[in-house]
């Protein structure tokens, strides 16, 4: 079996889909994208295609090593996202070739179902208690929300109080056992993060996510001294080498590799195994489309230290099109009591509606994350 063609589709709301075709009529789908940089990743995939046309798609490890080590300059969001989407599609092909789900090739099931959480509140969170209650009534046992709007290096305590009031309103409305993930989104700098984690502690968040930007991970040591709340990070970190120092330092409780950014499914599995050795759990990041979610679920199914899965159905970014709009078998992502079943179909287990993808690609998108500014006009973290 040989790879014959790579086809790319930039589709709403902000995604890039990849189809890899073979000379035996088996094709696989992946999702190589950086949110807001879809065209750049598309160019990277096209550039990498010269290395894989004519290759046997079953040689996933060797192809990955070729794409990664074949360049003198390695890593980073663009190249690793391009490699990630290619790698996902290769696993989809391999599973279809051998007529088994991907998780079976990763060691088989370590659990029987996958716990998921839902997003609420948007980029500028508001009315979160009512939104969380709605999710609870839908069966979810946990939600995640952005903690705050933009926040300066040192900012007013009223902004801190606003965060606390929102989280407190959810805890009061939904009870002590409902999971509340509070995403700092890298918006909050070390000084304010120390204050926030201390003030949030009485409300027992499920985790505090990206309390600082990953380039400032050394600050996690000081932040961890101000809270017992679980600290999560990793969505903007790439490959096992990117996670190595984080795990060695020992100040993170949950890692969140994104399988469309960090290097793909097998790289995610290797990162998860590293984390297991440090008694750290895994909750893959996934505010993306159906291929990334399916890839994550297969990793989750076979990973002992998996804890909970992000999924983007109904997330505020998904304007116009959503995960289920691009697949023929939406029942594969049917959530019940806060869980989703493990796919049992070959490969990734999702049937892509290619005609819908082609139609959507005609419209395309030019999604960019917003540019935020502080009151003095300086750039704020989004």
- H helices of 215-341, where? 220-224, 239-249, 265-277, 290-301
Residue 161 token pair: 């109080």
Percent residues over pLDDT 70 in the chain: 100
Query: pLDDT of 34-76, one tens digit each?
Result: 999 999 999 999 999 999 999 999 999 999 999 999 999 999 9
Cα diameter, the chain: 63
Same domain, 198 and 340: yes
- Final residue of a domain: which of 56, 73, 100? 100
Radius of gyration of the chain (CA): 20
SS3 16: strand
Question: Does residue 369 form part of some domain?
Answer: no
Does residue 143 sit in the same domain as residue 33? no
What pLDDT band is residue 319 in, cutting at 50, 70 and 90? confident
pLDDT (0 to 100) of residue 101: 98
As a whole number of angstroms, the distance between CA 189 and CA 243 comes to 21
pTM: 0.97
Render pLDDT for 166-188 as a digit per residue (tens, 0 to 9): 999 999 999 999 999 999 999 99
Tell me which DSSP letter residue 264 carries.
-
The residues that are catalytic are 185, 285
* 199 and 93 assigned to the same domain: no
168 occurs within a structural domain: yes
Compute the average pLDDT of residues 178-201: 97
Q: 366 lies in a domain?
A: no
Domain assignment present for 142: yes
Q: Where are the beta strands (DSSP E) in the chain?
A: 3-11, 15-22, 27-30, 113-120, 142-146, 179-183, 207-209, 231-233, 254-255, 281-282, 309-310, 335-336, 339-341, 372-373, 379-380
Q: What tokens does 215 get?
A: 């380039």
**Does residue 225 lie within any of the structural domains?**
yes
Residues 81 and 128 both lie in one domain: no
Q: For the segment 66-120, what is each residue's pLDDT rounded down to a tens digit?
A: 999 999 999 999 999 999 999 999 999 999 999 999 999 999 999 999 999 999 9
Inside any domain, residue 362 = no
Q: Is residue 274 part of a domain?
A: yes
Contact predicate 303/266, CB 8 Å: no
Cα atoms in the Cβ-side hemisphere of radius 13 Å centred on 144? 27
What's the whole-number mean pLDDT along residues 260-274?
A: 98
**Which residues are within 8 A (CB) of 254 and not within 5 positions of it... i.e. 6 or more apart?**
207, 230, 231, 232, 233, 280, 281, 282, 283, 307
> Could you tell me if 205 and 275 lie in one domain?
yes
In angstroms, the CA 237 to CA 267 distance is 12
Mean pLDDT score, 201-206: 98
Q: Average pLDDT of 224-231?
A: 96
248 and 268 together in one domain? yes
Span 327-354, pLDDT tens digits: 999 999 999 999 999 999 999 999 999 9
Measured between alpha carbons, how far is residue 158 from residues 22, 148, 178, 196 in Å? 58, 11, 26, 11
- Structurally, the chain folds into a number of domains equal to 2
- Co-location of 131 and 90 in the same domain: no
State which residues form the domain around 249: 104-348
Average pLDDT of the residues of the chain: 97
Q: Choose one of 51, 81, 100: the last residue of a domain.
A: 100
Q: Give the mean pLDDT of 247-271.
A: 98
Same domain, 144 and 162: yes
Answer for the pair 149, 170: CB distance below 8 angstroms, yes or no. Answer: no
- Under the banding of pLDDT at 50, 70 and 90, the label for residue 320 is confident
Q: What is the DSSP letter of 253?
A: S
Q: Are residues 16 and 142 in the same domain?
A: no
Last residue of a domain, one of 80, 100, 120: 100
182 and 330 housed in the same domain: yes
Q: Looking at the structure, do residues 236 and 273 belong to the same domain, yes or no?
A: yes
- Residue 82 covered by a domain: yes
Residues 75 and 114 grouped into a single domain: no
Strand order in the sheet with 15-22: 3-11, 15-22, 27-30
- Pair 207, 182: CB distance under 8 Å: yes
Tokens standing for residue 108: 């088989």
The DSSP string of 28-59 is EEE----TT-HHHHHHHHHHHHHHHTTS-TT-
Confidence of residue 139 (pLDDT cuts 50, 70, 90): very high
CA angle 73, 294, 304 (to 5 degrees): 85
Give me the CATH number covering residue 14: 3.30.390.10
Provide the CATH number for the domain around residue 301.
3.20.20.120
């Amino acid at each position: 079996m040989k790879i014959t063609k790579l086809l790319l589709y930039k589709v709403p709301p902000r995604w890039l889909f990849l189809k890899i075709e073979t000379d035996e009529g088996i094709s696989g789908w992946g999702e190589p994208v950086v949110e807001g940089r879809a065209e750049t990743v598309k160019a990277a995939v096209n550039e990498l295609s010269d290395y894989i046309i004519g290759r046997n798609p079953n040689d996933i490890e060797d192809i990955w090593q070729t794409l990664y080590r074949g360049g003198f300059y390695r890593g980073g969001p663009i190249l690793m996202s391009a490699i990630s989407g290619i790698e996902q599609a290769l696993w989809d092909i391999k599973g279809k070739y051998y007529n088994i789900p991907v998780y079976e090739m990763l060691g088989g099931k370590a659990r029987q179902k996958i716990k998921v959480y839902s997003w609420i509140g948007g980029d500028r969170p508001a009315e979160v208690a009512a939104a969380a209650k709605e999710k609870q009534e839908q069966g979810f046992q946990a939600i995640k929300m952005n903690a705050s709007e933009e926040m300066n290096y040192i900012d007013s305590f009223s902004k801190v109080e606003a965060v606390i009031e929102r989280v407190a309103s959810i805890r009061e409305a939904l009870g002590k056992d409902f999971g509340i993930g509070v995403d700092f989104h890298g918006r909050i700098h070390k000084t304010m993060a120390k204050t926030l984690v201390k003030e949030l502690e009485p409300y027992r968040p499920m985790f505090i996510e990206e309390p600082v930007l990953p380039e400032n991970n050394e600050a996690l040591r000081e932040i961890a001294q101000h809270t017992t709340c679980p600290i999560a990070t990793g969505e903007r970190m790439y490959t096992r080498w990117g996670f190595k120092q984080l795990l060695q330092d020992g100040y993170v409780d949950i890692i969140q590799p994104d399988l469309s950014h960090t290097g793909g499914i097998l790289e995610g599995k290797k990162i998860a195994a590293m984390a297991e050795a440090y008694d750290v759990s895994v909750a893959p990041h996934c505010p993306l489309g159906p291929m990334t979610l399916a890839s994550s679920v297969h990793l989750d199914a076979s990973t002992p230290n998996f804890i909970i899965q992000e999924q983007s159905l109904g997330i505020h970014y998904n304007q116009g099109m959503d995960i289920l709009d691009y697949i023929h078998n939406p029942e594969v992502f049917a959530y019940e009591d806060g869980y989703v079943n493990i796919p049992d179909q070959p490969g990734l287990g999702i049937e892509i509606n290619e005609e819908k993808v082609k139609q959507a690609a005609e419209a395309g998108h030019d999604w960019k994350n917003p540019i935020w500014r502080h009151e003095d006009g300086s750039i704020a973290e989004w």
